[in-house]
């Protein structure tokens, strides 16, 4: 094991700038994951009715605290998506390296251990830093959690790198099976499994969140549980729709395309229709939540206004709703970062081919348009469906509450779409470098 | 220019003229004052050992990289000073490039890969595909039209790459070790296809190779050593080429 | 190449006269040194003397009288033995270019002692390489011509790979000419 760790360390140290990005971004993701998890544990550890001078007393009651804990735990889902994107950085390169090691005689177990250490390595300092940051915040707030909570903190700090290691091993399972890495690309890289695997992991996280709230408050929170289940169900449908529509669009457009950029993007879609679903799974899920939230918020505010709640209590409720809204925005931001990382990674992986295209006279604007279209084409139908799913949730809620159906949720999908295109566009400066003729010199 | 060039191609000026090209990558000098003429319709082999600057010379002539010093002239235009847009346009319309591998888009079929330069030039999809099909036919890979590069043999995908380089009817094709990754027989099929088609279309070919048998497909050869064109070898081959042409 | 065995092989198909044998030989082995008419007859007479071939008769076919030759049983056995025999792979290294390079170095050293200019081995190698390349281009043009038959292609290929081997040898030798010069001087 010591030898494997040393090997992983040597490999990490000797790798290029892409690996630096992977380490930095993974560490950042680990900080966020640790932060959210520690906060959830800390809030969950508070017992009974207390008085916490924060957010109009949102944390005073066990019932509301359960909601906060659930929100914090659910925030781990987009973070997971982001970490998944980070793990893809330099994946092709690492695949080749591992295959070379298998060819020179490394056993599958050795390769698996090295991959695990390599994946866990950047997240350990990340989770430690997140823990330190959180401890400072606790000290600043003057709050001392009970001993049980400290045990929970330790579990979280260790669980984050372990989870990263597991993901790393899973990603390399094909190389471990065969030392001859696939040099030729014939079929699509991977099917929808990764996307649905992500959903399953998200559902698992939510289940853990429910357990953290405790069975008693869970019964009280039957409605949120129903909403979470509905969101995951819709998410599954949306992700499936993303893959299916990408396959359809890809096939149709490769036949019909007139613009070179559309042809290139469509060719990539048809070749690996599930790529978009994998990259955007977290984003689509967040969009469903976002649409539903905007609708539910409008309905709740209407109820509050109609029932003539006292201004003080009104502030309490709106603070809660606004905090939940902030959580949705944070989740959206994290997912957009994941999307940007995914687009950049896709360009970096193909840089030699892009350089050859540019050398052959394909204008960079065409390559850039193709890169954006690759994000834009499959996202349009998927976001449409996400919008419909989210609207269904808030229509159902409005029916139950007996209020009018709000129209504001309809604005969410176009806004998310625009944000996605902007996020994808952030990788375009990288295209300039990737398509540089200097890349032709290194084979 | 050596004096015999005028006698060799009477009434014909060079298609592309390179003079005193210098290019350094970091602390490595790839070119140290290389000069070269590529005449219209000729097939010129540039040979030399690894690291002699062959590929860099091709990149400079095709307007893919800018030399640090020296000039490249094509049809009276200084390529080394042209804008990026102009260079892109030249490479799309007047030049074709073929590398050892990697110039085909892996996600597109052979037919679409060949049609792509036409689409970029504004040709409609239908006619573009039809012309692409004709070029695949010429290179004997019509049967592979619906396959993706990963599904073809190395020789087949190089012939598709040649079709893509020639489909726009360029004045010059730049081929950098086009047979480098192929076995002898596949390499010969690729070279025969390239030479026949280039002669038929009157396209000049600049062929980079380290292999004498590949270089023997050319009309003449220049030998590159340490970033300059070896004068002795060039002088001899130019005279030999004159005899060959006559 | 053993001309007598090749002629014997051509006779295996059936009796033939000398003139047809020469024509067949030149067609089967394109780019080989053409067979002299007189050599065909001398070889056939030796074959008859050794009992490997026999005169089968004459025909005139309206023109001058011509002798028909055929293979004997012993001839067939000898042919089988020769065809099955492994050709010795380069038993002696004969390399005229190398000899000229070494001689050039020696002469140049002697000339330098008397203060005169001598031959330049590296320049010689470059000139030789250019001549090789010219021949390779000729052969390549021959085999790449549309409609070239396989015999022509294979004959040209044989010469091309041999010339290619020479060219590679000359390239590596040119790169190491200084070390070689030092070695020749030391010896």
Give me the residue spans of the domains in chain C.
Answer: 3-84, 96-186
Between A185, A186, A437, which is nearest B64 by CB? Answer: A437
Q: List, for residues A152-165, the tens digit of each pLDDT value.
A: 889 989 988 998 88
Q: Cβ contact (<8 Å) for C131 and B240? A: yes
Count of CA atoms in the C-beta half-sphere (13 A) of C148: 19
Q: Is the interface score ipTM higher than 0.90? A: no
Q: A156 and A77 in one domain?
A: yes
Region C97-112: mean pLDDT is 88
Provide the pLDDT for residue B5.
44
Separation CA B157–CA B148 (nearest Å): 9
Region A178-197: mean pLDDT is 56
Percent of chain B with pLDDT over 70: 88
Q: Cβ contact (<8 Å) for A437 and B55? A: no
**Closest approach of chain B CAs to the CA of A272, in angstroms?**
9
Q: Do chains A and C touch (3 or more CB pairs under 8 A)?
A: no
Q: A168 and A24 in one domain?
A: yes
- State which residue of chain A sits closest to B128, comparing Cα positions: A258
Q: Are B120 and B92 in contact (CB under 8 A)?
A: yes
pLDDT-wise least confident of A109-118, B86-95, B143-152, C75-84: A109-118
Q: Which residues have CB under 8 Å from C123's CB, separation 6+?
A: B232
Provide the pLDDT for residue B185.
87
Q: Is B140 exposed, middle or buried (0-12, 13-18, 19+ CB in 10 A)?
A: middle
Position B233 pLDDT exceeds 60: no
Q: Cβ contact (<8 Å) for B165 and A270? A: no
Q: Are B154 and B182 in contact (CB under 8 A)?
A: yes
Q: Are A122 and A26 in contact (CB under 8 A)?
A: yes
Residue A9 covered by a domain: yes
- pLDDT-derived band at A441 (thresholds 50, 70, 90) equals low
Provide the pLDDT for residue B235.
43
Separation CA A355–CA A344 (nearest Å): 15
Q: How many domains does chain A fold into?
A: 2
Chains in contact with C, counting 3 or more C-beta pairs less than 8 Å apart as contact: B
Provide the pLDDT for residue A443.
45
- pLDDT-derived band at B8 (thresholds 50, 70, 90) equals very low
Between B59, B106, B151, which is nearest A353 by CB? Answer: B106
Q: Cβ contact (<8 Å) for B97 and A363? A: no
How high is the mean pLDDT of chain A?
A: 81
Q: List, for residues A55-105, the tens digit of each pLDDT value.
A: 666 777 777 777 788 888 888 888 888 888 888 787 777 777 777 777 777
Residue A10 covered by a domain: yes
Interface of B with A in 111-150 (CB under 8 A): 112, 116-117, 119-120, 124-125, 148, 150
- Full residue range of the structural domain in which residue A347 is found: 221-443
Nearest in space to A297 (alpha carbons), one of A403, A203, A194, A419: A403
**Closest approach of chain B CAs to the CA of C25, in angstroms?**
27
Provide the pLDDT for residue A216.
59
Position B245 pLDDT exceeds 80: no
Question: For residue A257, which phi and psi values (nearest 5 degrees)?
Answer: -55, 140
Region C140-169: mean pLDDT is 91
Does B157 contact chain A (CB < 8 Å)? no
User: What is the torsion angle, in degrees rounded to the nearest 10, for the CA atoms of residue A316, residue A322, residue A328 and residue A331?
Assistant: -90
Give the Cα-Cα-Cα angle A114, A116, A118 (nearest 5 degrees).
70
Residue A195 covered by a domain: no
Position C86 pLDDT exceeds 80: yes
Q: Cβ contact (<8 Å) for B244 and C138? A: yes
Region C73-94: mean pLDDT is 86
Provide the pLDDT for residue A74.
84
**Closest approach of chain C CAs to the CA of B106, in angstroms?**
31
C3-84 has which fold? Answer: Arc Repressor Mutant, subunit A (1.10.10)
Q: A153 and A25 in one domain?
A: yes
Position B125 pLDDT exceeds 70: yes
DSSP result, A159-207 = HHHHHHHHHHHHHTHHHHH-SS---S--S-S--THHHHHHHHHHHHHHH
Strands (E), A33-109: none
Separation CA A72–CA A44 (nearest Å): 10
Q: Which residues of A touch B150 (CB under 8 A)?
A: 184-186
Residue A200 covered by a domain: no
DSSP structure class, residue A144: -
Q: List, for residues C21-33, the tens digit of each pLDDT value.
A: 998 888 888 878 8
Separation CA B224–CA B32 (nearest Å): 11
Residue A203 covered by a domain: no
Q: Which residues have CB under 8 Å from C33's CB, separation 6+?
A: none
- pLDDT-derived band at A230 (thresholds 50, 70, 90) equals confident
Region C59-80: mean pLDDT is 85
pLDDT-wise least confident of A128-137, B60-69, B224-233: B224-233
Question: What number of other Cβ atoms are within 10 A of residue A212's Cβ?
Answer: 19
Nearest in space to A345 (alpha carbons), one of A275, A272, A241, A270: A275
The C-alpha R_g of chain B, in whole angstroms, comes to: 18
In sequence order, the β-bridge partners of residue B32 are B22
Q: Is A174 exposed, middle or buried (0-12, 13-18, 19+ CB in 10 A)?
A: middle
Position B191 pLDDT exceeds 90: yes
Separation CA B161–CA B100 (nearest Å): 10
In sequence order, the β-bridge partners of residue B31 are B23
Between A264, A353, A363, which is nearest B102 by CB? Answer: A353
Q: Are A284 and A383 in contact (CB under 8 A)?
A: yes
Tokens at A178, concatenated: 């065969």
Q: A374 and A230 in one domain?
A: yes
Residue A313 covered by a domain: yes
Q: List, for residues B151-162, the tens digit of each pLDDT value.
A: 899 889 999 999
Region A267-279: mean pLDDT is 83
């Amino acid at each position: 094991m010591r030898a494997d760790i040393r090997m992983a360390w040597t490999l990490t140290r000797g790798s290029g700038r892409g690996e630096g990005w992977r380490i930095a971004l993974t560490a950042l993701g680990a900080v966020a994951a640790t932060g959210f998890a520690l906060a959830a544990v800390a809030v969950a550890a508070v017992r009974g009715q207390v008085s916490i001078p924060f957010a109009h007393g949102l944390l005073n009651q066990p019932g509301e605290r359960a909601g906060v804990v659930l929100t914090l735990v659910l925030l781990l889902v987009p973070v997971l998506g982001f970490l998944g994107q980070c793990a893809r950085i330099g994946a092709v390169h690492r695949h080749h390296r591992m295959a070379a090691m298998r060819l020179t005689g490394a056993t599958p177990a050795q390769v698996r251990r090295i991959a695990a250490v390599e994946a866990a390595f950047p997240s350990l300092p990340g989770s430690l830093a997140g823990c330190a940051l959180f401890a400072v915040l606790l000290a600043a707030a003057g709050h001392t959690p009970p001993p049980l909570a400290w045990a929970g903190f330790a579990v979280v700090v260790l669980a984050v790198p372990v989870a990263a290691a597991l993901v790393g091993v899973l990603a390399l399972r094909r190389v471990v099976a065969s030392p001859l890495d696939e040099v030729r690309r014939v079929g699509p890289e991977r099917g929808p499994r990764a996307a649905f695997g992500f959903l399953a992991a998200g559902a698992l996280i939510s289940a853990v969140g429910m357990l953290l709230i405790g069975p008693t408050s869970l019964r009280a929170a039957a409605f949120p549980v129903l909403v979470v289940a509905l969101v995951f169900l819709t998410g599954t449908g949306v992700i499936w729709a993303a893959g299916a529509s990408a396959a359809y669009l890809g096939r149709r457009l490769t036949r019909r395309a007139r613009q070179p950029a559309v042809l290139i993007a469509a060719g990539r879609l048809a070749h690996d229709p599930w790529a978009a679903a994998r990259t955007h799974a977290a984003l689509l899920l967040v969009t469903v939540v976002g649409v539903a939230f905007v609708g539910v918020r409008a309905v709740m505010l209407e109820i509050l206004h109609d029932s003539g709640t006292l201004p003080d209590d009104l502030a309490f409720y709106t603070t809660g709703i606004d905090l939940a809204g902030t959580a949705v925005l944070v989740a959206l931001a994290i997912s957009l970062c994941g999307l940007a990382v995914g687009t950049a990674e896709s360009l970096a992986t193909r840089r030699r081919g892009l350089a050859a295209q540019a050398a052959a006279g394909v204008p960079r604007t065409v390559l850039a348009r193709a890169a954006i279209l690759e994000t834009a084409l499959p996202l349009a139908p998927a976001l449409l469906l996400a919008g419909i799913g989210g609207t269904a949730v808030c229509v159902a809620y409005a029916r139950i509450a007996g209020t009018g159906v709000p129209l504001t949720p309809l604005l969410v999908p176009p806004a998310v779409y625009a944000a996605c295109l902007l996020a994808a566009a952030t990788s375009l400066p990288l295209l300039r470098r990737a398509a540089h003729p200097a890349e032709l010199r290194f084979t | 220019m050596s004096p015999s060039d005028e006698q060799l191609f009477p009434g014909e000026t060079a298609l592309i003229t390179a003079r005193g090209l210098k290019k350094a990558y970091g602390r490595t000098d790839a070119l140290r004052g290389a000069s070269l003429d590529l005449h219209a319709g000729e097939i010129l082999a540039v040979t030399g050992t690894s690291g002699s600057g062959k590929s860099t010379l091709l990149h400079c002539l095709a307007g893919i990289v800018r030399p640090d010093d020296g000039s490249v002239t094509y049809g009276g235009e200084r390529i080394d000073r042209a804008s990026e847009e102009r260079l892109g346009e030249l490479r799309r319309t007047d030049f074709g490039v073929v590398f050892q591998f990697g110039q085909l888009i892996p996600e597109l079929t052979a037919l679409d890969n060949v049609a792509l330069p036409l689409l970029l030039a504004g040709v409609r999809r239908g006619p573009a595909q039809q012309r692409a099909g004709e070029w695949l036919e010429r290179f004997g890979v019509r049967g592979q039209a619906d396959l993706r590069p990963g599904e073809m043999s190395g020789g087949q995908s190089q012939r598709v790459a040649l079709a893509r380089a020639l489909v726009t009817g360029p004045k010059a094709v730049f081929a950098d070790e086009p047979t480098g990754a192929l076995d002898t027989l596949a390499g010969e099929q690729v070279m025969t296809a390239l030479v026949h088609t280039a002669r038929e279309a009157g396209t000049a070919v600049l062929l980079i190779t380290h292999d004498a048998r590949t270089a023997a497909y050319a009309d003449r050869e220049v030998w590159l050593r340490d970033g300059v064109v070896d004068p002795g070898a060039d002088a001899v081959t130019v005279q030999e080429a004159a005899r060959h042409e006559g | 190449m053993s001309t007598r065995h090749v002629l014997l092989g051509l006779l295996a198909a059936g009796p033939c006269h000398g003139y047809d044998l020469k024509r067949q030989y030149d067609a089967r082995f394109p780019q080989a040194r053409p067979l002299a008419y007189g050599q065909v007859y001398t070889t056939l007479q030796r074959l008859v003397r050794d009992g490997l071939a026999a005169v089968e008769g004459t025909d005139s076919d309206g023109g001058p009288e011509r002798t028909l030759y055929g293979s004997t049983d012993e001839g067939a056995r000898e042919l089988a033995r020769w065809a099955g025999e492994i050709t010795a792979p380069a038993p002696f290294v004969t390399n005229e270019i190398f000899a000229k390079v070494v001689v050039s170095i020696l002469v140049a050293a002697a000339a330098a002692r008397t203060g005169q200019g001598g031959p330049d081995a590296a320049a010689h190698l470059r000139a030789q390489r250019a001549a090789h390349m010219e021949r390779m281009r000729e052969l390549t043009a021959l085999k790449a011509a549309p409609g070239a038959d396989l015999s022509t292609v294979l004959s040209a290929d044989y010469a091309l790979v041999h010339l290619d081997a020479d060219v590679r040898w000359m390239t590596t030798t040119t790169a190491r000419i200084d070390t070689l010069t030092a070695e020749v001087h030391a010896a």
